């Protein structure tokens, strides 16, 4: 069955396609989309894909997401493509690109890190030292964060 029969095409907005199967909720979480914003969001999980076997898709109507907003989803969806849709046509298509720095999305796993101190207003900040496999290093204490830890932290949406 074609994906079109599962979720309809959108008139204007952003389609995040080729998300690894099962990761759509984590993508929404990274984007900070809760549904309370009011615009229409549709999502399919575990649909058939020629390239990936199975994939997830997220469609956000009425909002064109900027590269900056979207690139951080590469943490959990490095295969994702971003399609900007205007008047039903895809006018722009690009792959996500993990930024060199990740701020405020995941926490440092070192309990003694200043970013975990209860009264400090220091936001976690990581440098990407490996993309495949994903590996981050805390800019404050040097602790590493692995792909598994990133995925685990973003679970439970």
Residue 90 interacting with ligand CTP (CB under 6 A):
yes
CA distances from 7 to 41, 91, 113 (A): 11, 19, 44
**81 sits near ligand CTP (criterion: CB under 6 A):** yes
Out of Zn ion, ligand CTP, none, what residue 3 binds, judged by CB under 5 to 8 A for its kind, is ligand CTP
Q: Do 29 and 104 contact (CB within 8 A), yes or no? A: no
Residues in the chain: 157
Rounded to the nearest angstrom, the gap between the alpha carbon of residue 96 and the centroid of all alpha carbons in its chain is: 9
CA 66, 71, 72, 75: dihedral to nearest 10 degrees? 150
Contact yes or no for 85/91 (Cβ under 8 A): yes
Decide if residue 17 touches ligand CTP (CB under 6 A). Answer: yes
Q: Which of 45, 47, 141, 151 binds Zn ion (CB under 5 A)?
A: 141
Report in angstroms how near the CB of residue 119 gets to Zn ion at its nearest. Answer: 16
Cα gap 48→56, rounded to integer Å? 9
Q: Is 57 in the site for ligand CTP (CB under 6 A)?
A: yes
Which of the ranges 62-70, 79-87, 111-119, 125-133 carries the binding residues for ligand CTP, by CB under 6 A?
Answer: 79-87
Residue ranges that bind ligand CTP, judged by CB under 6 A: 3-4, 9-10, 15, 17, 57, 59, 81, 83, 85, 88, 90, 93
Residue ranges that bind Zn ion, judged by CB under 5 A: 108, 110, 113, 138, 140-141, 143
């Amino acid at each position: 069955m074609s994906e079109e029969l599962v979720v309809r095409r959108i008139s204007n907005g952003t389609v995040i396609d080729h998300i690894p199967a099962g990761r759509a909720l984590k993508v929404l979480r990274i984007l900070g989309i809760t549904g309370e914003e009011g615009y229409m969001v549709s999502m399919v999980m575990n649909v058939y894909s020629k390239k990936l076997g199975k994939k997830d898709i997220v469609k956000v109507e009425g909002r064109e997401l900027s590269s900056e907003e979207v690139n951080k989803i590469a943490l959990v969806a490095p295969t994702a493509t971003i399609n900007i849709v205007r008047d039903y046509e895809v006018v722009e298509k690009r792959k996500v690109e993990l930024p060199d720095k990740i701020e405020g999305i995941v926490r440092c796993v070192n309990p003694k890190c200043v970013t975990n101190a209860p009264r400090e207003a220091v936001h976690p900040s990581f440098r990407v030292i490996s993309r495949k496999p994903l590996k981050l290093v805390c800019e404050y204490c040097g602790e590493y964060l692995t792909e598994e830890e990133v995925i685990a932290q973003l679970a439970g949406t």
